[in-house]
Chains A and B, each alone.
Chain A
């Protein structure tokens, strides 16, 4: 079943060009749909107003061209025209303010009881924490948020270092992740799909490479995924992967990364328990394959200059083993 689902996701990924949908004008989530309507409305009103002003400008310039001598203009009627134009401006501006207010109301705020996911921004990746009720229900992943379709999801946005901004435009407007605070964002997808977003607040060297994927699935698919994520990592069956695990645990890797079910409990970097199941690597930078894993581990500073992962000296064989192990962490 998981293979089928991953296959479907891969197809979706290929169709959407590895990226998923990332456009405010291509909304598939409740809040984004509301906002897209507002955008179209305001742009239309302002567009018409601009055209009218330009017509007046052209008329004013053409009217007096080549005129000689000062024409006696009726200042009083000119005054009336200016006052009328200002009055129309006031009405338009008031109408837009009210429509904006009602759009905010229409989007609403998530119920405290809604499904909650905590997203912590880090330079330059997203830590994603699921904390459902029940024992052993919580788990952690990175750069990929799965949500069930048609349900309000409450994102609790926090930051571990500097300010970031969570923005998946096809689903909702953005919201900052501010150190020392916890901001709330309502996320809701109306249909299944992969929705891409990326950090929208300048956060340092790799601000440009801090993408996040929201994967909206049918509730049953979501539950299966969540159940899989709750599992600890299985002991690898293939010998190369097993050797890779030994390399991982023997090298400094485990100081920063957690792989649940092993002795790796580092907290600095992303949780790697199911890294092989994630579509992308390094916050949306490359598709997860054995090759890209190897390239990343061998030289993270070339793939993503300035990121916080150091280069760990590995032999060619060790690199091969460790990337096989990573790829297998489904």
Chain B
């Protein structure tokens, strides 16, 4: 790693050209494979994360088409029950753990440091480590599936079906260990985001000037930190039950099968909001830009995010309404599940008020937000329905619920995400996506989505359960199932067009200016794509919309060293500058640490001794990672 030897060089007395040269030398990732493997640049890792997550989205989409092929006709024999169970398990596991959560965190890895005006994410090596862990977990799952040992116990892996007695082989272990990989990476990123938002905001960006997307990622990160340990405990206990014969979930030995469900859903329900809240932040961002005014009710929006985050932990039992819990306790969870409609409603009404008072400009990102409003409100309504215990006893585990959560997750998260990709694509790549293809993509997806998923509500009420690999010809479901399968083709074409547009635009789209949409948040104050150091001069913020007055003469802070990677640390509430802090340089050790951890975790599916022997390379990698190099950590 080359460093300038002149000693303590600051950015105060240099002209722009010289400053740019020094910053580039200090911050940029070296070319070549070694540079790519050892980089800790949040933008490179963020782009990598996003691309990987979209590859998993495409793979999961192919699985859903296979299921629709099988279900189009009664008693079809395209896919046998064993493969079908793997496919629906893979679809759910992949979409939740390898696509939805990582992609939202990936957007934050890229955007949050830019939106708060800093030069890199907090703990950048941990960030690199988290990506490698995520990739290894994804590969573990998909390679297992390709080898016909993919998990087949559902993405929820209920015991005892996933336990030692009924799930022979290693399929359930692969599911449980994949959880470990993705949760380690999700927890790492959550910690990075919290610290970045709390301590690295641009001077002057007090709590009430934080962009709504950053607020949403902050709340989401706390949800991850509080919810994910539950599933890690559960999946680890499952592995122990399977590997060394503990009896956490075995009723014959004093264990309890419902314990699994409590732990799983204590994570599983906040999970929905871990996916949804970032989307809320994206919607707020897009609405503000394309209505040409700030989102109405900033304080209310922030409070709604926090209230949703808190209530999210009081709803898990509504996934267990038919498991045989006492009715009085269930009523409490009905009330809390219904209550979460209030902050959700508040956000909807604030966006409507923003649109009412603004000047809507119907570009592709905004179209996806309109689609989100139409679809997500239906999902919210059916959410209120399944919150009612008696209603739920009829629709639980039926296609009604399949329809409901696709309305919430695809309508509530994927539509805003695609809008966000269209919106931030110029920042990510320096190129614009096609507006024409974007409109077609939206039209196909909106039509295809509703035609595919709305009829599932009816199928559910007509008695069709979920997770069945086929149904009998005498059931009155064939017509709708065929209709749904055909509609899924329209939806798939929409996604195909999106991928074609994204790949084509990344290569040859028209060049994007720094701020193509006339947006007002800090990520647009630097070039598209941003330089390795993000901002030549660190911005100083004096309002919620720092670019509103004159984006060309943004006030800036100076005094940071430029001969080594240095960040400005500010106070939590008022973002008053507190210290200069060094930011770690590129390192290959996170990759070695991830490789050693991955081998240990996968090996430990087969023998508990793996934990003993595997800890040696893990320890070596960590020692290399943290070996002191004599750099002063912090200058107050």
In the assembled complex, the Cα of A195 lies from the Cα of B161 at a distance in Å of 28
Please give, as numbers and ranges, the residues of chain A lying within 8 Å of B395 by CB-CB distance: 24
Residue in A closest to B304 when the chains form the complex, CB atoms: A86
B81 touches A178 (CB 8 A): no
B462 touches A38 (CB 8 A): no
Contact of A96 among B154, B322, B338 (CB under 8 A): B338
In the assembled complex, the Cα of A330 lies from the Cα of B257 at a distance in Å of 39
Q: Indicate the member of A46, A94, A100, A306 with the most B CB atoms within 10 Å.
A: A100
B335 within 8 A of A: yes
B257 touches A205 (CB 8 A): no
**How many whole Å from B88's CB to the nearest CB in chain A?**
9
Please give, as numbers and ranges, the residues of chain B lying within 8 Å of A201 by CB-CB distance: 158, 397
A78 touches B468 (CB 8 A): no
Please give, as numbers and ranges, the residues of chain B lying within 8 Å of A178 by CB-CB distance: 257-258, 323-324
A17 within 8 A of B: yes
Contact of A165 among B322, B387, B388, B392 (CB under 8 A): B322
Please give, as numbers and ranges, the residues of chain A lying within 8 Å of B30 by CB-CB distance: none
A162 within 8 A of B: yes
B348 within 8 A of A: yes
In the assembled complex, the Cα of A167 lies from the Cα of B395 at a distance in Å of 10
A175 within 8 A of B: yes
Interfacial residues of chain A within 64-100, with CB under 8 A of chain B in the complex:
64-65, 67-68, 70-71, 73, 75, 78-79, 81-82, 85-86, 89-90, 93-94, 96-97, 99-100
Please give, as numbers and ranges, the residues of chain A lying within 8 Å of B468 by CB-CB distance: 198, 207-208
Contact with A along B349-360 (1 / 0, CB 8 A): 110110111111
**How many whole Å from B314's CB to the nearest CB in chain A?**
14
Residue in B closest to A103 when the chains form the complex, CB atoms: B390
A234 within 8 A of B: no
Interface residues on A, range: 35 or more
B558 within 8 A of A: no
A101 touches B353 (CB 8 A): no
**How many whole Å from B44's CB to the nearest CB in chain A?**
38
B166 touches A18 (CB 8 A): no
Known: A46-B385, A162-B160. A306 touches B82 (CB 8 A): yes
Contact with B along A157-193 (1 / 0, CB 8 A): 1000111010101001111101111011000000000
Residue in B closest to A201 when the chains form the complex, CB atoms: B397
Q: Indicate the member of A50, A165, A176 with the most B CB atoms within 10 Å.
A: A176
B256 within 8 A of A: yes
B349 touches A82 (CB 8 A): yes
- A35-B393, A176-B324 known; 9 new pairs, CB 8 Å cut-off, are A38-B388, A39-B385, A46-B382, A103-B390, A104-B389, A161-B160, A174-B394, A204-B166, A284-B472
Taking beta carbons and an 8 Å cutoff, which residues of B are in contact with A?
A: 80-82, 85, 154, 158, 160-161, 165-166, 251-252, 256-258, 291-293, 296-297, 300, 322-324, 327, 331, 334-335, 338-339, 341-342, 345-346, 348-350, 352-353, 355-360, 362, 370, 373-374, 377-378, 381-382, 384-385, 387-398, 461-463, 465-472, 474-475
20 contacts across the A-B interface (CB closer than 8 A):
A38-B390, A49-B381, A56-B356, A59-B356, A60-B353, A60-B356, A60-B360, A64-B357, A75-B357, A78-B357, A93-B338, A100-B387, A100-B391, A103-B390, A104-B327, A173-B322, A201-B158, A202-B397, A204-B166, A208-B469
Taking beta carbons and an 8 Å cutoff, which residues of A are in contact with B?
A: 17-19, 22-25, 32, 34-35, 38-39, 42-43, 46-47, 49-50, 53-54, 56-57, 59-61, 63-65, 67-68, 70-71, 73, 75, 78-79, 81-82, 85-86, 89-90, 93-94, 96-97, 99-101, 103-104, 107, 109, 123, 157, 161-163, 165, 167, 169, 172-176, 178-181, 183-184, 196-209, 211, 284-285, 305-306
